Structure 1
Amino acid sequence: MGVRQAVGRWQAVLRWRTLLGDEAAVRNLELLVVALKPKGWRCVELYEKEEYGFPVPLLWVYASGAAEDVGAVVTVRATPGGAWAYFEAGKGRGGLLSPCGDAKQAAERIDRLLKYRMFPNVEWTWPR
């Protein structure tokens, strides 16, 4: 088996785990909501497939007030080794934000990402 075939199979397995892992995704997104609220971000939970028509649960995180057009849509995807991670939706695997398991760290990363989008400045970049 070539490298390309092996990578393709792993990607298929991860996609399959992500699509079937709604409970794990929602559980991790709920922990993220709890960690983001004290930072002042608003969260809209888009978890119901039938209602919203998305294949995976999503969390829309955005600013309130004058900067309501600044936000990010976060999802949870399966990662190798049976783990899960937070990703910015729409960016595929390139949108990795943080491994799940430490919602506080993930909230810090999302907080810096959104602050950077509001005020592009080196102060808000990571790693920190």
Structure 2
Amino acid sequence: MGQTSLIRYRVRRAVQHRYLEWRALRNRDIVMAHLDALVPPLERRGWRCVKTYEPDVVPVRVPLLRIYGADIAMTLCVLAVPYGLWSYYEAARGRDAWFCPCGDAEWAAETVDEFLRERSSTR
């Protein structure tokens, strides 16, 4: 009985993960809009942002936003989450590196700014 429910759980998780990947790939314009909204507040805080999702610059499957400072760099992506929502993630670690939900770009930029300043001061 326990083994069957564990298998069902794993199947549900796998299906949900595939659906979220499909939703992110299908709604590329939404993903890019969320990344575009994050650029101005980050640049006001002194970070340099490079959009790696412009097809003329670099053709990539997953739109990424590269954020540079004096001694640090980070890559963000937007992933679909359940209930039709979107969230910012650190691209290198995927779903294990959740930052904050999309929607309030100022708050997201503040969160990313604090994270990068903390990470750069520890070096």
TM-score, reference length from structure 1: 0.84
8 A contact 1:32–1:103 mirrored in 2:
yes
Gaps of 5+ in 2: 1-6
Match of 1:42 among 39, 48, 54: 48
1:109 to 102, 108, 111: 111
Equivalent AA in structure 2 for residue 47 of structure 1 = Y
C-alpha root-mean-square deviation of aligned residues, in Å? 1.7
State percent identity of aligned pairs: 38
Paired residue for 2:102?
A: 100
Alignment coverage as a number of residue pairs: 117
Which ranges of 4 or more aligned residues in structure 1 deviate by more than 4 Å?
none
The aligned residue for residue 21 of structure 2 is 15
Give 3-state SS (helix, strand or coil) of 2:25's partner: helix
1:32-66: CA deviation from partner (whole Å, max 9, x where unpaired): 00111110100001113574242111111111xxx
**Which amino acid in 1 is paired with 2:28?**
D
The 1-side partners of 2:37 and 2:56 are apart by 23
SS at match of 1:52: coil
Asked whether the 8 Å contact 1:47–1:58 carries over to 2, the reply is: yes
Whole-Å separation in 1 of the counterparts to 2:25 and 2:119? 29
Residue type matched to 2:25 in 1? Answer: L
Any idea what SS the aligned residue of 1:54 has?
coil
Measure the CA separation in 2 of the matches of 1:75 and 1:50.
19
CA contact (8 A) 2:53 2:59 kept: no
Q: Give the alignment partner of residue 30 of structure 1, picking from 33, 36, 41.
A: 36
What is the CA–CA distance in structure 2 between the aligned matches of 1:49 and 1:91, rounded to whole Å?
A: 24
When normalised by structure 2's length, the TM-score is 0.87
**Structure number, greater radius of gyration:** 2
Instruction: Pick from 60, 65, 83 the counterpart of residue 81 of structure 1.
Output: 83
Cα distance in 2 for residues equivalent to 1:62 and 1:72: 7
Corresponding residue of 2:4: none
| 1:2 counterpart SS class | helix
Structure 1 gaps, min length 5: 122-128
Which range moves more in the overlay, 49-58 or 74-83? 49-58
